[in-house]
Amino acid sequence: MYNVLISGYCGKMGRDVEKAIEETDDFEVIAGYDIASTGSDKKPIYSRIEDLDISPDIIIDFSRPEATMTLL
């Protein structure tokens, strides 16, 4: 099982990626990274990359270019 972090989690594509991952047995979304988090999500959503206290195996990025640079 691979643990996945979705960057851009609160956007439409981030949600679609999560749905696709939920249909697999080999991957699990453990958290998201998005500055637009409302705090009402079913997974922990980090609005600051510095606050991440998890170690994902994979990061899928569907964010804006400036957010990607921060993530890198």
What's the pLDDT tens digit per position in 15-30? 999 999 999 999 999 9
Q: 């981030």: which residue's tokens?
A: 14
Query: In the prediction, which pLDDT does 72 show?
Result: 80
pTM: 0.87
The closest of 16, 20, 45, 22 to 32, measured between CA atoms, is 45
Q: What mean pLDDT comes out for the span 32-57? A: 84
Which residue has better confidence, 39 or 28?
28
